[in-house]
Chain A
């Protein structure tokens, strides 16, 4: 076999091996540099994989030489190749930013272990995405979750509430993972297989089995907890608020995305055919909850004083858009979801990193401490404004592309009420972004406080994402092509 044939597994195993090595590196700069190298390696690997998938179709890899239904298969197609790219790309952009941010926010003796947890989280998220084995998904879900709890708790130096936030997340995340594994167990009981393609083939003929329906319900609810679908989002605001800035940027842009991808996989690849349970589950449960999340999240965001918490609630709303895209059960709807996975990663990553820059200088992200900050940190706030516009969905930004496809999907089904609701919830985003702009640009700076622009090592990664927000907003041909292939792949496998 050629070396490149091993890339589907090296994508995951590379970081997995790097994590224990990183824990042995005591010097924090070395650990940081090593983590950055690993992340960039994973990023290059995912670019190559996605490129190959787009040219020659899905890649399958049999671990241990055991062929697909028996052994664990890693399978990269357009949909998970795209998610691999998002996760490893965001990780590579956040890491240069993370160095200075961690130096301020995390005690020095914890750095190498923190980077180890970061690599493990990356491993878990990549593993969830790359594997085609339902139980292997659970294993990597736990790898990523356990390391996420550690990453969130690392914010304890700034605020001890990070510990309770992490503990709360641990309890709820464990419940979510347990529901997921119970669901997988029921699927295994009904079908006798764990391989996703094999599951899809066997679920169809069984048809309306109660075991399968219950298993599907368990999986959807477990994943809904993991992806913070309203009203199961309770862990998210505190976890995002009290985690270190760089961790929040990484998690907000990647962790929920991997869970949304899993929901797509289970809903369409596995349960797309056969089970008549999909349409009512999605139509009667997911769509109302997505709509409720869009409004509850945005409304809650308007009333927050802590801006990290505001963006966390905004994430709950944005997850609503992704699940809404799924609940249309159409190619355009799936494209909207897939595009929003990518686009939301870009905008939320940039927004949280801009807030990280603010925190680095001001030591607070409370809106009352930020009056006139735009005069002292013009570049940081400009980044915040542009990615905020993207969040709202202004043309020439990626947010517009997501909203466009979401509304197109609603138009196809002539769901006028949904279109009105999507536009209305976008207006709520205008309100909470405008609050920040008003305070930062129109109020006078706090007298006697001298704050300078954030260091370049933090500004450059932030602006890299801001430019990506504009670039993929102006020229969305690449992302829409991948999203279309992903959507057709997900539905196609179901037929």
Chain B
């Protein structure tokens, strides 16, 4: 891809805006359309584009595999941890009402944190799936069967 100058320049221009748009979809999700799933996929799309233009090796350097192994479980923990927090604060599991001083504030805060957890996991899983396929080698030999 080294000679595709236009692709490289345009994607370098686009990637920051894709990331920013993902963050908008993530954090505006409780007022408008959006949320963790959509934002996570958009965020990951930026890395997929980067990998397509600059190569999987460069993308792996930008987003190391060790981060993936931590971020995937971390998002789930943020989600479930919110549930446990509301449980410890006297509500039932995932009862956001108790998270802040007013029930409405609690619902806002709860959905924001939970969706952030979803976003983290979805981003990391999407990138992990892409890396797994893009980095695949022909390891299955004929005599393995």
Q: Does residue A171 face the partner (Cβ distance < 8 Å to B)?
A: no
Q: In B63-89, which residues have CB < 8 Å from any A CB?
A: 69-70, 72-74, 76-77, 80-81, 83-84, 87
Q: Does residue B57 face the partner (Cβ distance < 8 Å to A)?
A: no
Q: Given that A13-B84, A17-B80, A17-B84 are known contacts, is A63 also in contact with B70, CB under 8 Å in the complex?
A: no
Q: Complex Cα distance A19/B87, Å?
A: 19
Q: In B9-55, which residues have CB < 8 Å from any A CB?
A: none
**Interface bits A205-226 vs B (CB < 8 Å: 1, else 0):** 0000000000000000000000
A-B contact pairs, 11 of them (CB 8 A): A1-B90, A17-B77, A19-B73, A19-B76, A21-B73, A24-B70, A63-B93, A63-B94, A64-B93, A65-B91, A65-B97
Q: Does residue A227 face the partner (Cβ distance < 8 Å to B)?
A: no
B residues within 8 A CB of A63? 92-94
Q: Is the CB of B73 within 8 A of A61?
A: no
Q: How far is the CB of B94 from chain A (nearest CB, A)?
A: 4
Q: Complex Cα distance A63/B87, Å?
A: 10
Q: Is the CB of B96 within 8 A of A20?
A: no
Q: Is the CB of A6 within 8 A of B76?
A: no
User: Which of A10, A24, A62, A64 interacts with B73 by CB under 8 Å?
Assistant: A24
Select from chain A the residue with minimum beta-carbon distance to B110: A64
Q: Complex Cα distance A397/B92, Å?
A: 43
Report B's interface with A, CB cutoff 8 A. 69-70, 72-74, 76-77, 80-81, 83-84, 87, 90-97, 144-145
Q: Is the CB of A65 within 8 A of B92?
A: yes
User: Which of A21, A62, A64, A160 interacts with B77 by CB under 8 Å?
Assistant: A21
A residues within 8 A CB of B93? 6, 9-10, 13, 61, 63-64
A residues within 8 A CB of B96? 64
Q: Is the CB of B80 within 8 A of A16?
A: yes
Q: Is the CB of A20 within 8 A of B145?
A: no
Q: Is the CB of A160 within 8 A of B145?
A: yes
Q: Given that A1-B90, A6-B87 are known contacts, is A64 also in contact with B95, CB under 8 Å in the complex?
A: yes
Count contacts between A and B, CB distance < 8 Å. Answer: 53
Q: How far is the CB of B80 from chain A (nearest CB, A)?
A: 5
Q: In A321-346, which residues have CB < 8 Å from any B CB?
A: none
Q: Given that A65-B97, A160-B145 are known contacts, is A20 also in contact with B76, CB under 8 Å in the complex?
A: yes
Q: Does residue A168 face the partner (Cβ distance < 8 Å to B)?
A: no
Q: How far is the CB of A113 from chain B (nearest CB, A)?
A: 9
Q: Complex Cα distance A31/B20, Å?
A: 38
Q: Is the CB of B92 within 8 A of A61?
A: yes
B residues within 8 A CB of A16? 76, 80
Q: In A28-64, which residues have CB < 8 Å from any B CB?
A: 61-64
Q: Is the interface of A mostly helix, strand, loop or mixed?
A: helix
Q: Complex Cα distance A63/B97, Å?
A: 12
Q: How far is the CB of A157 from chain B (nearest CB, A)?
A: 13
- Give 4 closest A-B pairs by Cβ, nearest first: A20-B73, A65-B95, A64-B94, A20-B76
Q: How far is the CB of B26 from chain A (nearest CB, A)?
A: 20
Q: Complex Cα distance A21/B74, Å?
A: 8
Q: Given that A17-B80, A20-B77, A160-B144 are known contacts, is A64 also in contact with B69, CB under 8 Å in the complex?
A: no
Q: Complex Cα distance A213/B81, Å?
A: 41
User: Which of A17, A23, A62, A160 interacts with B92 by CB under 8 Å?
Assistant: A62
Q: How far is the CB of A242 from chain B (nearest CB, A)?
A: 14
User: Which of B74, B90, B91 interacts with A20 by CB under 8 Å?
Assistant: B74
Q: Complex Cα distance A61/B87, Å?
A: 12
Q: In A95-153, which residues have CB < 8 Å from any B CB?
A: none
Q: Is the CB of A6 within 8 A of B74?
A: no
Q: Complex Cα distance A16/B91, Å?
A: 19
B residues within 8 A CB of A20? 72-74, 76-77, 80
Q: Which of B73, B74, B92, B96 has the most CB of A within 10 A?
A: B92
Select from chain A the residue with minimum beta-carbon distance to B98: A65
Q: How far is the CB of B100 from chain A (nearest CB, A)?
A: 14
A residues within 8 A CB of B74? 20
Q: Given that A20-B77, A24-B70 are known contacts, is A64 also in contact with B92, CB under 8 Å in the complex?
A: yes
Known: A20-B74, A61-B92. 16 other contacts (CB 8 A): A6-B87, A6-B92, A6-B93, A9-B92, A13-B80, A13-B83, A16-B80, A19-B73, A21-B77, A23-B73, A24-B73, A61-B93, A64-B92, A64-B93, A65-B91, A160-B145
B residues within 8 A CB of A19? 73, 76
Q: Complex Cα distance A21/B81, Å?
A: 12
Q: Complex Cα distance A44/B81, Å?
A: 22
Q: How far is the CB of A224 from chain B (nearest CB, A)?
A: 31
Q: Complex Cα distance A13/B90, Å?
A: 17
Q: Which of B91, B95, B145 has the most CB of A within 10 A?
A: B95
